[in-house]
Structure formats: structure tokens, C-alpha cells
Amino acid sequence: MKFSFHLVIPLVFVGKQILRNAKVLGPVSGIHEELLNTTVIAMHHNPSCRIQLPKDDRLYLGLKQRYLLFQILILAGKSFSFEILVTDTSKVERRLIFTTNTKVLVTTLRHARIPITSLQRNVWLNLSIDVQGFFIYCFKNVTSCSMDGIQISAHCKLGRLFTICLLYTS
């Protein structure tokens, strides 16, 4: 059995153009992280900090990959959330909102608020989200088509953000 991976990196961290593809709201800075030996995004100064992809609200990412991966450090004792805008096959936009501010799963017709309860804090994580799996679980009988937006809220350090599709080949 062979597995091949297809990587797409929608957010690129390079020198001074750290956030060239993202809309930045609030004070966000690029700092050198010794442990990773690379530049990371620090969003820990203000609770209103947000990074939104894509930069233009009228555009869509159009990512078809199943998994979204974060290289992230979530600060202890602080709230954290991120949301993924997913368009289904009927062209209806729905949001998966992952947050530390809720204890139970809450779903409506177009939103799902998913609790983040057991992530380690103050350590670098490779956080993998099965977007299609969460979408099917939260919105029964609806098929996802593409990831069209990503928003990350304050109190974290973000190293990398990318999508991956696990393909089975014989």
C-alpha cells in the first residue's frame, strides 16, 4: 500500500512579506522562533487580533483538500478560536467555528460551534483538522465542496498553515 500526499500552502511565511495573502486585523507581528528556526506570526498582544484568508473578502480560496494543518502554539489561560468557511455542493456557505469559549457542540443551519477542550497549551502542535469529516458530522446529509476561507483569532503563535489530501494509490 502506497500513500502519496498533495500539499497546498495558502499562507506563505517569507521574510517581510509574512502575511501577503492574509487580511490582518489588530496588532500581529512576525518574530523569529528559536525552537522552529523560522519566522512565525505572533498574535498575543490583543484579543481582537485576527488573520483572515483570503485577503480580499470578495475572493475565495477554493481549496478541495480534506485536511487543514496548523503548526501552532496556543497560549495557556487565553481564549482561542479559528473558523473555516466551507461551501457545499449547493453553493451554500457554512462555517465550522472551533473555539475554547464553548463546552458543547452547537449547530445551526449554517454554523457549527465546535469546542476545543483537550489541546495542549504553551507547546508547538501540528494540529490536523479533517474538514470534510467535521462538515459531514455537523451538517447531516450535506456534502462539502471546498474550503473558501480561514480565520484565526488571537492568543497564539502560528508557524505554518497548509492543506493536505491523502490519496491512496496502488
C-alpha dihedral sign at 71, 93, 24, 156: negative
pLDDT at 18 (0 to 100):
59
Strands across the sheet containing 93-99: 23-25, 50-53, 144-153, 81-88, 93-99, 111-115, 106-107
pLDDT tens string for the chain (170 positions)? 566 666 666 655 544 455 777 888 888 888 888 888 888 888 877 778 888 988 888 888 888 888 888 889 998 888 899 999 999 999 999 999 999 999 999 999 999 999 998 889 999 999 999 999 999 999 988 888 899 999 998 789 888 888 887 644 44
**Which pTM does this prediction carry?**
0.86
The three cell numbers locating residue 50: 485576527
pLDDT at 11 (0 to 100):
55
pLDDT at 7 (0 to 100):
64
pLDDT at 162 (0 to 100):
83
Q: Is 154 helix (H, G, I), strand (E, B) or coil?
A: coil
